[in-house]
Amino acid sequence: MYGCCECKNIEIHWRTVDYSSVPRACQCDYCRAKSAAYVSKSASAVEVVIHNPNLHRIVTHGTGTAQFHECSYCGTLVFVTCEIEGITYGVINARCLDNKFGFAEPVAMDFSDQPLAERLVRRQQNWCYPVTIRIQ
């Protein structure tokens, strides 16, 4: 599945055959402001291509364990990564993906009270991996 930010500086190539993922809308202030709703599938690879690295911005919040990747030119939040035991896991903002079948309405999720250890295990179990980022 292909996706990108509005100006196509950051592109996503998600190797999945499952088009039925239900987006999860994080309820933190940052994700709500960005209208982000995330999709992922365990053990599905994601390749990210960044055309102009000067316009690639990484933001961290809360526990500092996740990196929010956005384009500073168009302001689009494209994907989120977390490195655990040397493996980069990620979720993709569904609003950036071209899903020929469309996604279901996002489900609101609040992980603010989840302990850090449980949060990392959830990411290992549910997020895409491996995630590779290539500058082109």
Q: Please report where in the chains the tokens 């996706």 appear, as a residue.
A: 3
Please tell me the predicted confidence (pLDDT) of residue 108: 97
Q: Omega before 106 cis (within 30°)? A: no
Residues of the chain short of pLDDT 50, as ranges, are: none
Strands (E) across the chain are located at: 2-4, 10-14, 24-26, 38-39, 46-50, 56-59, 67-71, 77-84, 87-93, 107-109, 131-135
Residue type, position 35, single letter: S
Please tell me the predicted confidence (pLDDT) of residue 62: 83
- Residue-averaged pLDDT of the chain: 96
Please tell me the predicted confidence (pLDDT) of residue 65: 94
Please tell me the predicted confidence (pLDDT) of residue 19: 87
Residue type, position 54, single letter: N
Please tell me the predicted confidence (pLDDT) of residue 100: 86
Q: What is the pTM of this model?
A: 0.96
Instruction: Find out whether 106 and 37 touch, Cβ atoms under 8 Å.
Output: yes
Going by C-alpha positions, the residue among 126, 131, 135 that lies closest to residue 21 is: 126
Question: Strand pairing partners for 51?
Answer: none
